Amino acid sequence: MKLTYNKNIGDVLLVSLEGSNSFETKDFDDFTAILNNDKLLGLNIFNASEKFTEEELEKETANEEIVQKINNIIHEDLDEINPDLTPKFVVGYVKECEQHEDADRLSVTKVDVGDEVLQIVCGAPNIDKGQKVVVAKVGAFMPNGLYIKPSELRGVKSNGMISSRKELGLEDDGVRGIYVLDDSYEIGQPFFN
């Protein structure tokens, strides 16, 4: 779940729940729902500064209090939302890294993210076993708006994305490929606070 508030475009809080290539909108008094076949993808909440504190509007990720406020706004018109609020950008440890059997420039990795091991297909030239990396888990919204969902690359399932500095919206360090972290990072810790 991603929150975006920009006073320059109006007093509207944009709530992104899931990505989709197609959508429709449905207008209500205090908000517009963004839907795909009746599945709620997001909300545009109007007069947001009257409903949320300034501190809440500055956040990019929601907490339980913000979710409750959103549910109070939509409860008469829509089912309540119950988003996964766990961190979506975490430190991972590459336990395995093998050449993709059907693609020269892809690697199939097993990455420990603390509470699970994810299979992630990665195209970065600098990926290797034993690295600590930043993983965008399924459900993450990248800074450029890309929504991370389970996918399949050349017949191999991939659940997340091992990210570069550029993909994370960080200053480019000139390294071609993923952002390799030093040992001071703990496996599973949130990358962004």
The upper half-sphere exposure of residue 72, i.e. CA atoms within 13 Å in the direction of its Cβ, equals: 8
Report d(CA 178, CA 102) in Å as an integer: 21
CA angle 187, 191, 193 (to 5 degrees): 125
What pLDDT is attached to residue 8?
A: 82
pLDDT at 101: 87
* Sole residue written with tokens 């501190």: 55
What pLDDT was estimated at residue 158? 97
Q: Say if residues 162 and 109 touch (Cβ distance below 8 Å).
A: yes
Backbone angles phi, psi at 73, to 5 degrees: -75, -40
Residue ranges in the chain whose pLDDT is less than 70 = none
Bridge partner residues of 35 (DSSP): 24, 40
What is the pLDDT, as a whole number, of residue 184? 96
HSE of 21, CA atoms in CB hemisphere, 13 A? 1
Q: Please state whether the predicted TM-score (pTM) of the whole model is above 0.95.
A: no
At 11-41, the pLDDT tens digits run: 999 999 998 889 999 999 999 999 999 899 9
pLDDT of residue 176: 87
So what's the pLDDT on residue 107?
A: 96
